[in-house]
Homo-oligomer: A and B are copies of this chain.
Amino acid sequence: MRTSQFLIATLKENPSDAEVISHQLMLRAGLIRKLASGLYTWLPLGLRVLRKVEQVVREEMDAAGAQEVSMPIVQPAELWQESGRWEQYGPELLRIQDRQGRDFCLGPTHEEVITDLVRNEIKSYKQLPINLYQIQTKVRDEIRPRFGIMRSREFLMKDAYSFHVGQASLEETYLAMHRAYTNIFTRLGLDFRPVIADTGSIGGSASHEFHVLAGSGEDDIAFSDSSDYAANVEMAEAVAPGAAPAPTADMEEVATPDVKSIEDVAQFLQRDPATTVKTLVVDGEEEGALVALVLRGDHQLNAIKAEKLPGVATPLSMADEAKVRKLCGAGFGSLGPVGLPMEVIVDRSAAALADFCCGANRDDAHLVGVNWQRDVPLGRVEDLRDVVEGDPSPDGQGTLLIRRGIEVGHIFQLGTKYSEAMQAQVLDENGKNVTMTMGCYGIGVSRVVAAAIEQNHDDSGIIWPAAMAPFQLAIVPLNMHKSEAVAQCAEELYSALREAGVDVLMDDRNERPGVKFADMELVGIPHRLVIGDRALADGKLEYKGRRDADSQLVEREACVDFLLERLRG
């Protein structure tokens, strides 16, 4: 391709409304343009990248035995009413009426449509398992579209749905999808982690998210420094430390006038927050009951873990302070486990403390030198907290690191949530009707493009991983319109490289060298070959990899082989 025949729409200025680097660079490099809030047009350069991602996804899905289909974007309300989601889904679901006044929605996802298709087409266990996918534009009316295509209202998604008789078959396909996703993101050259995820409101039994690690991610990912273990911070288990050491101090009460937060208490008493505990009172499962959750002062309560515990209300809700004061004789900042008139659940790390500090259940007073069993019974011990960096990895290998991640994929054992609601059944080996088990598997295809940029860029612009680059190589002839030698050499190499199957962009614009260099770096072409009169007179050309600090001279005669070698690299 020649830039003279290809829309290079780079911008010099940083767009003012782009908050994250990928959004800025996608606009500046001319990959996308905004049509309206959360709606973007993909320009030719951007679309080339998107199509490359799409193709890798397709190849790996096909290789994993999935079959591609294409379902409508517009979906009838009836199916959503059957599954119950017509009521449950909020205003993110864009609802429309056709000219006859019938209700439809624009598909944010296709569980209902595929379940309807499969219950009509598949009658016997012999036809299972089946895994159907599509790569399609989805619509979600985000309340606050932002970060460009990272959280847009239209986006390209690969969504797959598998159907099974029984859990074992589901788990087999789930594993195949886990491998396919790993292949996809590996081939795309991304630093990613498959992380154990919360199954959240979709329901179901097991779930992994695939996260591209990048500082701008919206999720915190905890992963081992020496194994494959990775989980959303909210899902990572905080493993139990050893037992508490023996007591060395006596329990005593100290005055802490107007000192309430852990930070203030620690500072006031000049001790490490890690040697204090905080006591949070939440509503119990039974009407009117209260439960105390005790954590180390430097740890954060993990609401997801807490609300899964028997005895704790779901969703988790903090108790009413007046009610607590009436019962315990103190406000939130002065509570402690000693003599607390309610069930006390102690986090594993808090349970390993000795000589700790806690509220005295009297305002303006704390206890120090407190020890479990000696001063207060240690009842239930549970995992109540978010993991922190340095915690041991739950798989027993190495310690945890925590990084930000951008979710680009999600695989999910759905179970029978949809198939039961929509009566999707087949005949089993015994001729008996059984409800199919389902899995679903998504990749945010357009989001992958943004995530790749968040992970791979520098001050000059995008640095595409090889598999995603819109072009593999840029030929930049200098003064091509004046120097016949340069023009001839450029044309020869352009032909030779194209014949060798290389995706070349030839920058034949009549622009200053500086403009061409800046543009090619901004749009992130991985390899660059500069053809200039001076070096050419010595039979040499200038090569620079996008991540290289400096360029190097290459013999013109050896140039094609040199480049092919680099491209294989």
Contact = CB atoms under 8 A, between A and B. Distances in A.
A511 to B, nearest CB: 12
Interface in A55-94: 65, 67-76, 91-92, 94
A29 to B, nearest CB: 13
Given A43-B69, A69-B41, A69-B43, A76 B5 contact: no
A33 interface: yes
A74 B130 CA distance: 32
Interface residues of A, number: 47
B74 A7 contact: no
Interface string A86-108: 00000110101011000010100
Nearest to A6: B67
Contact of A41 (B91, B104, B113, B130): B113
> Which one of A73, A113, A120, A130 has the highest number of Cβ atoms from chain B below 10 Å of its Cβ?
A73
A75 B154 CA distance: 11
A141 B75 contact: no
Contacts of A154: 72-74
A113 B35 contact: yes
Contacts of A94: 74, 96, 98
Contacts of A104: 36
A43 B67 CA distance: 9
A526 B91 CA distance: 49
A126 B36 CA distance: 28
Contacts of A67: 5-7, 44
A297 B421 CA distance: 66
A377 to B, nearest CB: 52
Nearest to A77: B36
A71 B36 contact: no
A361 to B, nearest CB: 47
Contacts of A96: 94, 96, 106
Given A117-B41, A121-B33, A70 B50 contact: yes
A526 B381 CA distance: 70
A71 B117 contact: no
Given A65-B5, A98-B94, A99-B143, A116 B35 contact: yes
Interface in A119-153: 120-121, 130, 132, 137, 139, 141, 143, 153
A508 to B, nearest CB: 13
Contacts of A44: 67-69, 132
Nearest to A118: B7
B70 A47 contact: yes
Given A41-B69, A41-B113, A92-B99, 5 more contacts: A39-B76, A41-B70, A73-B139, A94-B98, A137-B137
4 closest pairs, A vs B, by CB?
Answer: A42-B70, A91-B99, A39-B72, A44-B67
20 contacts: A5-B67, A6-B67, A7-B130, A33-B120, A33-B121, A36-B72, A36-B75, A39-B72, A39-B76, A41-B72, A41-B117, A42-B69, A42-B70, A44-B67, A50-B70, A73-B139, A73-B154, A74-B139, A94-B98, A99-B143
